Amino acid sequence: MPRPRTRGTGLRHRLAELRGPDVPAKALDARALAALAANPGCRRRAILDGAGVDKAALAGALGSPSAFGQSQFALVRGNAFEAKVKADGGTELLRLVHEKLDPTAEPPADARVPDLTATGPEGRTARTALVLREATETATGTGTPGAWTLLDHPMLALDVAGSPAFLEPDAVVVHPDGGWTVVEIKSFPMLDGSADPSKVGAAARQAAVYVLALEEVAARLDPVPEVRHRILLVCPKDFSNLPTASAVDVRKQRAVTRRQLARLTRIEDIARALPEGTCFSPGLPADRLADAVESVPATYAPECLSACELAFHCRARSREDGAVTSLGRAVRAELGGLSTVEDVLAAARGEAGDPDDPAVAALRRAARLRAEALGATAGLAGGEVLACP
């Protein structure tokens, strides 16, 4: 007699069905999680990411290929710079951590760089947690007090809408006092000590995801070690390939990400509501695939263009439906209960809408001002001269 499936096993089986037979899962990374948290109301992205669907392949199969992603040149350059920063057992990286974040501690001589090799993401996650515990105990007195430890590409797990996401930061450093610091290594330059604010912001949001995952590991230890909210951002100095660094406080990004992830609809609930036989495999016929994608509501906004592979597809559907969300979240918030462009135009013309509604009143006033402005312009074009007092 077959054993009944547990709840977790049943969910994994259902997500595998949604992904398609023999289609490997695409793992969530911190960049995807930061983007997912920025749009927590999008059930479509939540289920696709939760099921491990390759959204780039899906977008191509739907006829809306994505331009989202990093160039091959940027990847090669980034990998080469990271290798330089971590050379010689991470000597330069640890020097920067000591200089920028912990100058009063003992210099990081003879730092430990433990082996984190294990089988599969679950094995690597368990191995990382064990090494973090041992390194913290070593630093705080049960081993060799005052030791530094560098974890090169550790594996962390973070619960996202009821499903674990495995994350791989560039590095985590355990300080001599037992505190933990996330290190982000990027290939964009720091010019005269500062970098592009938008790129720094993206790196901070990504690092905030790692901080949250580290806090889950720390919470299982006694005493609970400090996960520092100032991360180290390492970049090339000016136009050279020499590393420099800056401490970045990610408390704000951490708080926003934690709140947004908590608001995400559980993946299990979304999967349960889908029609039987729904599948997002890119190998399916385009019409069947489009029906499957449209069976999950999306919350499109222009910001999706820089963060989601399906953005072009969702934008086209949003425009076809006349949804005001295609104009941006700020515009949508100002329009209250008016959810389509047709409703907005009808309200502006006085054909629909409650006159006491502030949004409707503002639209009608704007329409009158526009008509007056266009009338004045037409008068000037016809040769009229405005008299000045």
CA distance 231 to 229: 6
Question: One-letter amino acid identity for 161?
Answer: A
Report how far apart, in Å, the C-alpha atoms of 294 and of each of 8, 44, 201, 314, 339 are. Answer: 26, 9, 32, 9, 19
Range 251-257, long-range pairs (CB < 8 A, 24+ positions) = 253/201, 253/204, 253/205, 253/207, 253/208, 254/208, 254/211, 254/212, 254/229, 256/37, 256/208, 257/33, 257/34, 257/37, 257/205, 257/208, 257/209, 257/212
What would the pLDDT profile of 55-78 be if each residue is shown by its tens digit? 999 999 998 887 665 667 778 888
The Cα 289–Cα 23 span in angstroms is 15
Q: Which amino acid is at 167?
A: L
pTM score of the predicted model: 0.72
Print pLDDT tens along the chain (389 aa): 444 444 456 777 888 899 988 888 887 788 888 877 777 778 898 889 888 899 999 999 998 887 665 667 778 888 899 999 999 999 999 999 999 999 999 888 888 999 999 999 999 999 999 999 999 988 776 555 568 999 999 999 998 766 788 999 999 999 999 999 999 999 999 998 889 998 898 899 999 999 999 999 999 998 899 999 999 999 999 988 899 999 999 999 999 888 878 776 678 888 888 988 899 998 899 999 999 999 999 888 888 887 889 999 999 988 888 888 777 777 777 777 777 888 888 888 888 877 877 888 888 888 888 888 887 665 555 554 444 33
In the three-class reduction of DSSP (H, G, I as helix; E, B as strand; rest coil), residue 2 is classed as coil
Length of the chain: 389
Residue 21 has which token pair?
């037979």
Q: Which two tokens stand for residue 157?
A: 């797990």
Tokens representing residue 355 in the block: 């006159």
CA dist., res. 256 & res. 103, Å (int): 30
Q: What's the token pair of residue 2?
A: 């077959």
